[in-house]
Structures are given as C-alpha cells and as structure tokens.
Amino acid sequence: MIALSLAEIAAVVGGQTHDIPDPSVQVTGPVVRDSREVEPGSLFAAFAGERVDGHDFAQQVVEAGAVAVLASRPVGVPAIVVADVQTALGALARHVVRRLGATLVALTGSAGKTSTKDLVAQVLRRKAPTVFTPGSFNNEIGLPLTALSATEETKFLVLEMGARGLGHIRYLTGLTPPRIGLVLNVGTAHIGEFGGREQIAQAKGELVEALPAADAGGVAVLNADDPLVRAMASRTKAKVLLFGESAEADVRAENVRLTDSGQPSFRLHTPSGASDVTMRLYGEHHVSNALAAAAVAHELGMSAEEIATALSEAGTLSRWRMEVTERPDGVTIVNDAYNANPESMRAALRALAAMGQGRRTWAVLGKMAELGDEALAEHDAVGRLAVRLNVSKLVAVGDREASWLQLGAYNEGSWGEESVHVSDAQAAVDLLRSELRPGDVVLVKASRSVGLESVAQALLATGAEGEVAAR
C-alpha cells in the first residue's frame, strides 16, 4: 500500500484508535485479511467469518509485524476500531485509489473474467507496472484488498468485478471508480439468482454507467458479438470501443482457427495495425478474452505488434482453467474444473475435440450450477454437443444433472459404453484408471461446487511424476 499513518487511516475510515501509542506510525506493507499473509508494516483487517474470527489473531499478527488491526472491537493491541470492517476497507480503498496516479481498468462478465483479467494484466505489464486482482478476488472484500496492494509505482490497476445481483457492480465501482470498463459477455452464470439474462445484463451494465464521460477519458470496452453487451453502449457517456469477430468491431480477429493442440491462432486487427497471434492458452473462448485485452491495451497506447506478442506469450495465472498436463505415458489431462457454465462447457468441448484429433477423447463432466429453469435443457444440450463433436467417451459425474448430461448424449446417438453416468468423483477416477490408454485426452469440467479438480489431480498422480506442461 502507499504509506499512510494510522491517524490518517483512522480519519479516512471514521474509526477510533485503541492501544496506539504513536498514531504517526505508518502502514507500509500490504493490507491483508489472512493472518498468514501479514508482513512487516501490514494492516490486518479482522473479519469475523463462519469458522474463524480474525480478532482472535490480533496478538499473533502484531508479533508478525502488523502495525495495527482494523477491527470492530478493541483487541488489546494497536487497533483502529470501526463499526464495520468491510465498509472501512472500502473507504480506505477509495481514498487510496484517488491518491494513486494509476489508470483503473475494471472488467466484468458472466464467464471469463479471471482469464481475461490475467490476459489484460500480462499485456499491460509489458508497458508499465501493473497491479491486478489475484485469482478471483472480485467481491466487496477482495476488490478493496487488491486496490490497496497498489503502490506509488503502479501505473495500471486491473480489477475483476463480480456480481450476483443488481447493485453489486455499482457498489464496487463506487469503491474503485474505473476509467476503462470492460464487459465480456452476458451468459447464464448465476442466472438462477439473477432471475434471467436481461437482469444479468442490467447488473453487468452498471459498470459502464459508472464510467466518466468520453471527454473525461472514460472508455467502455464492449463485446460486439454479444447483443446484450453491445446494447450497453446506450447506457454510458464514455467512449465506446468494440471488440469481437464481427466486422464492426474496432478490435477484431480474422482467420480464427484452433491449432492441432487446441490453441487459438488469429490475425489481430486494432485501429493502429494488425499482427498475428498464436496463444499458449487452450480453447477458442480465449479469442474473445484476448480481443478484450487487446482493446484495453490499444486504448492505453500499445501497438498491435506489442499486444500480439504479449498475447502469444501469456500463460495461465489462475489455476484449473484449461490447465493442460502431459502425463509421461502420453495421456493428456485438461483440468478445467474451476467452474462451468453452458458457454464455457461448449468452448472446452470444442477445445477437447481440436486437441483430440486422431486420439481418444474423454469428457468427464459434472453439473453446471445455478441454471434455474434452464438446467435440464442446458445439461441435455451439453450432452448432445459432446456427441456431435465426436468426443469418444462422456463420463457424467454426480446425480441429477449428470443424468441429464448422459441422457442428452444418449438421445443424440451415443449408446452403450460411449456415455456413462457415475455417482461421484471417486467412481470416475476408478473408471478412468482402468480404461485410459496412452494417447488419450481427458477433459475434466464442472461447476466449482462439484470439486472435479480432484479427478484431474488423481489422474495426474496415477501417471507418476508427470511433467507439468500447464500454462
């Protein structure tokens, strides 16, 4: 964090100082909520969670070098006591980003936020010091913590913003007002909670409503290929920059194809030129993510060549998203178990099909959560797509939704042993251990709650010390 005295922080968050002998002492280290991440100079934010209460760690974090605790009650060590720690954290983040000279880039969407945020950061950091959301810390706590990790040197702050309902993005943009706002797509993630696609669009579009006007530098980066995102142009005063494969996009891809290993390759066009990209990431869905990142980078002054080079070299920074590992016996494991929704299921299956040409392909799939009324139809459609793409074997893991996946495949013309339904992850592992042959490609994917990464991990352990070619 930029250095701030405890007195200054207390004033910003409207808190009372307790047990602080010298309020001019500065916080110089990161603001953290996990006691294990405390460094000398840190401010520790004490949250009372379901299982642990951060206040219980007050003594320990101060011994580890924390300057003070941001707390909701006195804790016997230096503390700034506030009514609500989350609100205080937000206020501190707002104060700090206002003082930073950094350009704030925020992004949201139904699928691909984390992948795209990682791409944006990997492109921008070639130009100037960049701080970005670690993993998926995109909520009302993760966002301020990320913003607070910026320093005086930071030029670009790239923030993932998640929403599970109306008003969420508006709250987040209130904490860290972006100059550039990117909306990736409006899909079906959390549709059950939102109540429908229109509502999701309404919620995601709060990002572009929060942008400054065009003459004040505001830029809305919108997906030209997604009608609900494209339509957000009317909800912003910012300049609109479109990305996508459609001809009207300002930043677009031509000659998109997947290499034999499932990696997208295309010619990138930006208003400043064109250049070829071959990605290290797997799956066609990354084309859209890459174009989004390219649009942001273009806006921030990077040339098409610089952007293309950065996109071609970018790797996976966050785990279990199309993480490809070759086992020594020639079996390829594609671990995309981080999460799933209908769009990403389709993209992953297409990548599997591309990677699996001439090889046996396995799709080990579990349920896609939170689909509301569309759950049956969407699982059925994914099962059918697996057959249409000629996936050799579908292993549907879990109960009700898995049976819909398997039934979809069955009804599309897969029969006998080409699609199977197993009860749980262990059953899937047992089946695969006995059936996998050298050369097979295995995709593992389901919603987060299913925890199918355990299947990928077990399969990798089976193959002994597989060289991790994960990117």
Q: Which is nearer to ligand ADP, 218 or 356 (CB)?
A: 356
Give the residue from 178, 185, 170, 184 showing the smallest Cα distance to 146. Answer: 178
The DSSP letter of residue 321 is S
367 is in an annotated binding site: no
Closest approach, Cβ 85 to ligand ADP, in A, equals: 25
Q: Determine the interface stretch with ligand ADP among 14-22, 36-44, 165-173, 337-345 (rule: CB under 6 A).
A: 337-345
Using the rule CB under 6 A, which residue among 343, 378, 380, 453 binds ligand ADP? 343
Give the residue from 94, 37, 88 showing the smallest Cα distance to 66. Answer: 37
* Cα four-point dihedral sign 313, 317, 320, 326: positive
CA dist 172 and 2 (Å) reads 20
CA dist 207 and 31 (Å) reads 25
Q: Determine the interface stretch with ligand ADP among 31-39, 84-92, 339-347, 364-372 (rule: CB under 6 A).
A: 339-347
**Composition of the chain by helix, strand, coil, percent to 5:** 40, 20, 40
Write out the DSSP string of 379-446.
Answer: HHHHHHHHHHTT-SEEEEESSHHHHHHHHHHHHHT--GGGEEEESSHHHHHHHHHHH--TT-EEEEE-
Burial tier of 109 (Cβ tally within 10 Å: 0-12, 13-18, 19+): buried
CA dist 131 and 180 (Å) reads 15
Does residue 204 interact with Mg ion by CB under 5 A?
no
303 is in an annotated binding site: no
449 is in an annotated binding site: no
Instruction: Report the site for Mg ion in 76-115 (rule: CB under 5 A).
Output: 113-114
270 is in an annotated binding site: no
Closest approach, Cβ 48 to Mg ion, in A, equals: 25
How many residues at the interface with ligand ADP, by CB under 6 A? Answer: 22
Q: Which is nearer to ligand ADP, 42 or 339 (CB)?
A: 339
The DSSP letter of residue 36 is G
Closest approach, Cβ 467 to ligand ADP, in A, equals: 23
Does residue 414 interact with ligand ADP by CB under 6 A?
no
Using the rule CB under 6 A, which residue among 18, 33, 55, 113 binds ligand ADP? 113
Q: Which is nearer to Mg ion, 114 or 173 (CB)?
A: 114
114 is in an annotated binding site: yes
Instruction: Report the site for Mg ion in 135-194 (rule: CB under 5 A).
Output: 136
Using the rule CB under 6 A, which residue among 42, 72, 236, 339 binds ligand ADP? 339
CA dist 398 and 423 (Å) reads 5
Across the strands, what pairs with 39?
Answer: none
**Partner from ligand ADP, Mg ion, none contacting 289, C-beta within 5 to 8 A by type:** ligand ADP
Write out the DSSP string of 368-395.
Answer: PP--GGGHHHHHHHHHHHHHHTT-SEEE
Grouping H, G, I as helix, E, B as strand and the rest as coil, residue 355 is: helix
110 is in an annotated binding site: yes
Residues in Cβ contact with 195 at an 8 Å cutoff, skipping those fewer than 6 apart? 372
Instruction: Report the site for ligand ADP in 61-80 (rule: CB under 6 A).
Output: none
Q: Are 222 and 249 in contact (CB under 8 A)?
A: no
Q: Determine the interface stretch with ligand ADP among 31-39, 45-53, 107-115, 327-335 (rule: CB under 6 A).
A: 107-115
Does residue 318 interact with Mg ion by CB under 5 A?
no
Closest approach, Cβ 178 to Mg ion, in A, equals: 17
111 is in an annotated binding site: yes
Chain residues that interact with Mg ion, rule: CB under 5 A: 113-114, 136
Chain residues that interact with ligand ADP, rule: CB under 6 A: 109, 111-115, 136, 184-185, 285, 288-289, 321-322, 336, 338-340, 343-344, 347-348
From the annotation, which residues make up the binding site for ATP?
A: 109-115
